[in-house]
Amino acid sequence: MEEPTRKTMRLRRKELQEILESKLNALLRCIPPADTNLQQFQDLLQDPKWAQLMELVDQMKTWDVVTTIPEPKTFLNHTRFHVLLADMLSDIGKYEPYLKLFIERFEAENELVALKQATRGQAGPGPGCQMPRKVNSSGRIDAPIHFAVTQLNEGFLVWLLERSRTDINLRNSHKETALAILCEMYDESLRPSKQPVDVSSRLPQIRKLIQRLLAAGADFNICSMRNKLPIELLDRNGDKDIETKSFVEQLKANPQHALVVIKPEGNVGLARFINNATNVNLTVELFEIFLRHKDVEQFQNYWPKFVVTPENVKKVIRLLLHTTLDQKLPECLWLVVEKNEKTIFKLVERPQKK
């Protein structure tokens, strides 16, 4: 394709993005939204300009030469509308009606976004916005489900859980699931604090959301970036108050699958199952726990029972193949490769340039 044509396409793409962004921001000034505002917002999301923009993005994806294995980018990420989504997610209570329409339109249930660093009082989406944007101090890249639990917004969480595309065990940039975030919040709420507000008052709501996630299929056996397991965060607070002790005992007594805990031994951690130990759910994330704690014995014990499929192979590569290299576990590396070498190293044909 000749350069002038590419330039024309870039200019058209920029023009479409600016037009659509301006119209979205204008509607987002209306807080709380009236029915007419929501209808206008919904109509805008069906504007033919979106289809034109999507077509341009698809054509321009093939322009650059790929020298590494790229992370797939969504339409919202390509067009930077994920920034607008992040702004709305920063205050779900304020933007919830708009959020639901936006997420549904772009199938953005699992869209990972980061909040902009902002000072208090800085405006949110659109000029003239009436409420300050919340400050992002975590540095995390989160999906809607992570924002929902962080803000303890039960209504929005329930809405997400009812949507078939929502990945309840999706991890953010800190490798935390929504369940892990809630357990971390629970742990923090029981620590001595100098904050003027008694954060322990949020414990009942956190327990309620944890139970909602578990009922919807959330998995305790997924570690965070710091190798923390959600059940361990709760378990270590079992003796701090009666309600917490009862809650933890209830969770441990009726797990859907065997719960894994780590027992340190020298330079490694031994993964052991508590309760329901005969019902082990073999997931990629469970094997990642074995590898991160260098429990080669458990990995070798359960790996023969696991099946690598086209559906889970990317996760196997990202979570297991890479971890065996990071942890310097050559024996586990070869076990992973030998399991289904053709699937793991399958070459994908690059789309032809248009």
Mean pLDDT to the nearest integer, 243-250: 90
What is the structure's pLDDT at 96?
A: 97
Instruction: Report whether pLDDT(119) > 50.
Output: no
Instruction: Report whether pLDDT(103) > 60.
Output: yes
Query: What span, in angstroms and rounded, lies between the C-alpha atoms of 57 and 63?
Result: 10
Question: Which helix (DSSP H) or strand (DSSP E) does residue 82 occupy?
Answer: helix 82-89
Mean pLDDT to the nearest integer, 232-253: 87
What is the structure's pLDDT at 236?
A: 87
Mean pLDDT to the nearest integer, 303-322: 91
The two tokens of residue 354 are: 């248009």
Q: Which of the pair, 294 or 137, is modelled with greater confidence?
A: 294
- Dump pLDDT digits (tens) for 10-51: 899 999 999 999 999 999 999 999 999 999 999 999 999 999
Instruction: Report whether pLDDT(7) > 50.
Output: yes
Instruction: Report whether pLDDT(137) > 50.
Output: no
The two tokens of residue 270 are: 């031994």
What is the structure's pLDDT at 193?
A: 67
Q: List Cβ neighbours of 81 (8 Å cut-off, separation of 6 or more).
A: 17, 20, 21, 75, 106
Q: Which of the pair, 305 or 238, is modelled with greater confidence?
A: 305
| C-beta of residue 285 within 8 angstroms of C-beta of residue 170 | no
Q: Residue 157 burial by CB count (10 A; 0-12/13-18/19+): exposed, middle or buried?
A: buried
Query: What span, in angstroms and rounded, lies between the C-alpha atoms of 193 and 173?
Result: 26
The two tokens of residue 284 are: 């990629």
| C-beta of residue 45 within 8 angstroms of C-beta of residue 105 | yes
Closest CA to 41 of 54, 53, 23: 23
What is the structure's pLDDT at 181?
A: 96
Alpha-carbon distances of 78 from 57, 158, 299, rounded to whole Å = 7, 29, 39
Burial annotation 96-126 (CB, 10 A radius, 16+ → b, else e)? bbbbbbbbeebebbbbbbbbeebeeeeebbb
What is the structure's pLDDT at 98?
A: 97
Q: Which of the pair, 67 or 46, is modelled with greater confidence?
A: 46
Q: Residue 51 burial by CB count (10 A; 0-12/13-18/19+): exposed, middle or buried?
A: exposed
Most confident of 154-168, 200-214, 260-274, 336-350: 154-168
Query: What span, in angstroms and rounded, lies between the C-alpha atoms of 223 and 16?
Result: 42
- Side-chain half-sphere exposure of 90, counting CA atoms within 13 A: 26
Query: What span, in angstroms and rounded, lies between the C-alpha atoms of 76 and 45?
Result: 13
Residue 196 pLDDT level (bands cut at 50, 70, 90): low
* Amino acid sitting at position 145: I
Query: What span, in angstroms and rounded, lies between the C-alpha atoms of 82 and 115?
Result: 10
Residue 240 pLDDT level (bands cut at 50, 70, 90): confident
Mean pLDDT to the nearest integer, 231-248: 87
Closest CA to 274 of 218, 234, 225: 234
Angle at 139 between CA 143 and CA 172, to 5 degrees: 30
Instruction: Report whether pLDDT(66) > 60.
Output: no
Instruction: Report whether pLDDT(86) > 60.
Output: yes
For the CA atoms of 98, 103, 106, 110, what is the dihedral angle to 10 degrees? 160
Instruction: Report whether pLDDT(106) > 50.
Output: yes
